[in-house]
Amino acid sequence: MKSNKIILLAVTLMAGLATASAQLNNAYFLRGATERYTLNPALSPNRGYFAIPALGLTTALESNFLSADNFLFPAADGNGLVTYMHSSVAADKFLGNLPDINRLDMNIRDRLISMGNYFRGGFWSVDVSLRSESNLTIPKHFFALTKTLATGSYDIAGLGIESNNFVEASLGYTFPVQDVFTIGFRAKALVGLAHLSARLDRADISVGTDQYTADLAGSICTHVAGYDFEGLTGEVTFDEFIGHATDFSNFSPNNISSIGFALDAGLEWTFHDEDIRISAAVTDLGFTAWGAQNAYCGEIQNVGFTFKGFDLATNEVLFTAPDKITMQTIAPEEEEEGSQIKQQLHTNYVAGIEYNILNDAIGLGAVWYGKQYAEELVSEIVVAATFRPTPWFSATISEGYYPGSNIGVLGASLNLHTSLINLFVGIDHIGNKFGTAMGGKIPVPINQKSMNLTFGLSLPLGARMF
């Protein structure tokens, strides 16, 4: 029963995982693509559009460590592969490939309603999307523990997960200034669906000759639209929390009080007969706010576990754990009744330059992307070549570079933008080294740490005005 409740809570919290703030970086120079408008609101497409509902989808799995060659190694006898846990794989060889902080992001965006058109000298757009951002943070010492299990102490503090899921409605406006600059803005209203953040602030693992011990402390914060958590106060057991969160009688559509606001702003500067284009933008500059009654936050302190092995005589696992795990409720600082708990969005930054040759048939460009997390700015540089052989077809080949990486990441996208249809398909991460699985029947990318895919289908509405 307890496992069913946990599964039900996970489903509730991830209900918005049909979308997220995913983006396709190599679409930046495809002028016919409506998708690049999400990267910089100054980059309006060649034509107005009406997107086919739910078919403007971007999915992304991005990491700085998760690749086959980091966890699979050639067997010592040359026969196949072994995992990093195998005794023939040295710990230094395995751990030397991993960063100190390993991050895994799972992002999806699904455009439910999306349209834009040129009107009275400007480009107007309306968009309603489902979005989700989920990220997992794993310290390097966690993998050291799983690899070696050698006698000693391990600190895996910082292990955590965060998930934000919401509906976004936006209104955008783009306009020219003196035929040299194009400025774009997009105002967003957000309605939160679910949020979960959990983190181990202390995680001391001790591996001895006769027992393993763990001393843990951390925090958990949950926000679910429509749920009333006000009944949880003071010291709360984990079972009470799960039971309360999965009790559908706590839900009411009249209790959805999560709101948020964000702003996108962008600029494009063209000169030298528009052969050179410089642009920059900031997106998702804003926050979400949850009603205090929709939120529960608690701290878990001094939780200890001990494992001494297996008793063959009694067939029992010698494991001790607390009779109950309790959380101390963190009361929000309420200046007045009905106060809200605010959370900053992960703001994105972008700056690009493009040089076009052969009467605009070929474009050579570079873009810097940055995403602001709570404690760090994660960045990427993408260089791209864009080909426009006809007025109704364009394609891009790109190479992305991450700080500290010695190898680039290949990407490609194409856009068919006729007067009857606008079709876009793109991917940022294409593996350039493959192995095989299932007896050589299935190709497996070896050094690819991330993957994403964007697909969009829309109907053109009108010609570009500027």
pLDDT of residue 405: 62
Judged against a pLDDT cut of 50, whether residue 335 lies above it is answered with no
| Domain map (residue ranges) of the chain | 2-64+99-463
What does CATH list as the number for 2-64+99-463? 2.40.160
Can you give the pLDDT at residue 87? 86
The CA distance from 380 to 239, in Å, is 42
Beta carbons of 171 and 209 less than 8 angstroms apart? no
- How many residues does this entry show for the chain? 466
Tokens (6 digits) for 273: 């007969």
37 in Cβ contact with 52 (< 8 Å): no
Helices within 27-121 (DSSP H only): 68-71, 91-95
In this prediction, residue 224 has a pLDDT band, given cuts at 50, 70 and 90, of confident
Rg (CA), the chain: 25
Where is 159: in which H helix or E strand?
Answer: none
Q: Is the pLDDT of residue 339 over 80?
A: no
| pTM listed for this prediction | 0.78
Kindly provide the residue ranges of all beta strands, DSSP E only, lying in 275-392, ordered along the sequence: 276-291, 295-311, 316-320, 326-329, 340-344, 348-357, 362-372, 377-390
Quote the CA–CA distance of 442 and 34 in Å, as a whole number. Answer: 34
pLDDT tens across 40-76, in order?
A: 999 999 899 999 987 788 888 888 888 888 888 888 8
**Who's near 340: CB < 8 A, 6+ residues apart?**
257, 289, 290, 291, 292
> Is 117:48 a contact under the CB 8 Å cutoff?
yes
